[in-house]
């Protein structure tokens, strides 16, 4: 059942519970944010009021942990992890290995050529060990590898610096080193579009190959960078069901819904300068309602099958969404549940209601 809203209104019904209260005990609801967000008292208060768990949106990436000379700087990452700890919020580590937002020296020489395998493995091991050790006890689970799968139908893995230097088993080695650095911490693989059948099959292959080596991999993170028009809710439910039946917990790690025109789906980090920007001064009511409905069907789809233990939005509010700069730079996007003034949008009430309903039925079972 969907909630109706009056035109132009903020749309939050008086009864809409903060998300974490609506969901309490059934599924963790989180958002990602950065050090500037937690330094802002209003944003920090909203995060703590609405969300159970927390992810660093940017400042946990290798580029922020270590510099070009191999020096680690913990100050900002520590601030984020400590904010989560101080507020009793589970903190998800995003992430240890990715081809973006990283340091070239990990896997390439000064001319951009792949390092010898042994050198690249040592760098991988040292990086993972240092970071996982540093955050032991403060990270609830680590995204060990991000976006290793190819978007191309027949190809299994992407061509990346880590893979060129080490080989396909850079993935297994990353899981091995993360587990060795902290045997207690759950580990997951994270990627976009993996709910789609062709990429879902590759994901299952990857997860099974890691497990077949006797290594720990607990969960799969479906990023959930979705569009107003797709994927269909059944595709989302089917993917969750299949991952769960294969023995993996499912996390929705980076949820948002792009309301602007797009020619491609997915989240491969490449942006262009030119593209339509139809709503620079606010989202028309009609699209606001569409977004609320779309969030409704997405949450119904996520919660229908068993398997999902956490749902995290990628960003605290529309003004801080990466979708203002992806796949076209400098647009005005509206993909989250809170607007630029931190007011809950109509989609917030819809999601809150669905979470409360799900919680009630979960408690009945």
**Least separation, in Å, of the C-beta of 195 and ligand XIL?**
15
* Nearest residue to 98 via CA among 33, 162, 151: 162
Considering 50, 249, 254, 353, which one is annotated as catalytic?
A: 254
Q: How far apart are CA 210 and CA 184, in angstroms?
A: 18
Q: How many residues bind ligand XIL (CB under 6 A)?
A: 9
Q: Tokens representing 181?
A: 């650095």
Is the dihedral angle over the CA atoms 239, 244, 245, 246 positive or is it negative? positive
Could you say which of 40, 78, 101, 213 contacts ligand XIL (CB under 6 A)?
Answer: 101
Name which of 169 and 268 has its Cβ closer to ligand XIL.
Answer: 268
Could you say which of 58, 129, 130, 277 contacts ligand XIL (CB under 6 A)?
Answer: 58
**254 annotated active-site:** yes
Q: Is 131 exposed, middle or buried (0-12, 13-18, 19+ CB in 10 A)?
A: buried
Q: Tokens representing 130?
A: 């240092």
Q: How far apart are CA 259 and CA 16, in angstroms?
A: 23
Considering 147, 176, 195, 353, which one is annotated as catalytic?
A: 147
**Shortest-Cβ-distance residue relative to ligand XIL:** 322
**Least separation, in Å, of the C-beta of 106 and ligand XIL?**
17
Q: How far apart are CA 168 and CA 315, in angstroms?
A: 32
Examine residue 254 and tell whether it contacts ligand XIL (CB under 6 A).
yes
Q: Tokens representing 73?
A: 């700087």
Examine residue 146 and tell whether it contacts ligand XIL (CB under 6 A).
yes
Examine residue 223 and tell whether it contacts ligand XIL (CB under 6 A).
yes
Name which of 322 and 334 has its Cβ closer to ligand XIL.
Answer: 322
Helix (H) or strand (E) holding 131: helix 117-134
Q: Tokens representing 245?
A: 């039946």
Examine residue 324 and tell whether it contacts ligand XIL (CB under 6 A).
no
**176 annotated active-site:** no
Name which of 46 and 194 has its Cβ closer to ligand XIL.
Answer: 194
Q: Are 323 and 265 in contact (CB under 8 A)?
A: no
Binding region for ligand XIL (CB under 6 A): 57-58, 101, 146, 223, 254, 267, 269, 322
Q: Which residues are catalytic?
A: 147, 254
């Amino acid at each position: 059942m969907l909630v109706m809203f009056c035109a132009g209104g903020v749309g939050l019904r008086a009864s809409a519970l903060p998300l974490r209260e609506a969901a309490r005990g059934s599924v963790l609801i989180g958002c990602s944010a950065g050090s500037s967000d937690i330094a802002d008292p209003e944003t920090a208060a909203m995060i703590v009021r609405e969300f159970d768990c927390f992810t660093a949106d940017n400042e946990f990436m290798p580029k922020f942990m270590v510099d070009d000379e191999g020096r680690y700087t913990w100050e900002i990452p520590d601030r984020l992890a400590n904010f989560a700890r101080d507020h009793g919020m589970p903190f998800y580590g995003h992430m240890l290995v990715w081809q973006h937002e990283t340091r070239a020296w990990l896997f390439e020489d000064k001319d951009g050529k792949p390092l010898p395998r042994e050198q690249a493995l040592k760098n991988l091991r040292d990086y993972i060990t240092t970071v996982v050790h540093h955050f032991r006890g403060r990270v609830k689970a680590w995204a060990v590898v991000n976006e290793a799968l190819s978007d191309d139908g027949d190809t299994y893995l992407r061509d990346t610096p880590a893979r060129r230097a080490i080989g396909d088993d850079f993935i297994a080695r990353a899981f091995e080193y993360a587990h060795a650095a902290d045997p207690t911490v759950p580990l997951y693989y994270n990627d976009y579009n993996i709910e789609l059948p062709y990429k879902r099959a590759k994901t299952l292959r990857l997860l099974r190959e890691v497990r077949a080596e006797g290594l720990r991999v607990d969960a799969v993170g479906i990023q959930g960078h979705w569009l107003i028009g797709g994927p269909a809710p059944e595709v989302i439910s089917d993917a969750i069901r299949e991952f769960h039946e294969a023995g993996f917990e499912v996390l929705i790690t980076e949820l948002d819904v792009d309301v602007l025109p797009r020619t491609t789906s997915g989240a491969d980090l490449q942006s262009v300068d030119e593209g339509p920007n139809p709503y620079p001064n606010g989202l028309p009511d009609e699209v606001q309602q569409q977004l609320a409905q779309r969030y409704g069907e997405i949450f119904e789809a996520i919660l229908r099958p068993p398997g999902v233990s956490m749902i995290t939005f990628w960003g605290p509010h529309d003004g801080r969404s990466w979708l203002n700069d992806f796949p076209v730079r400098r647009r005005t996007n509206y993909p989250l549940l809170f607007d630029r003034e931190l007011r809950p949008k109509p989609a917030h009430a819809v999601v809150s209601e669905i979470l409360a309903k799900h919680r009630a039925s979960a408690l009945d079972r």
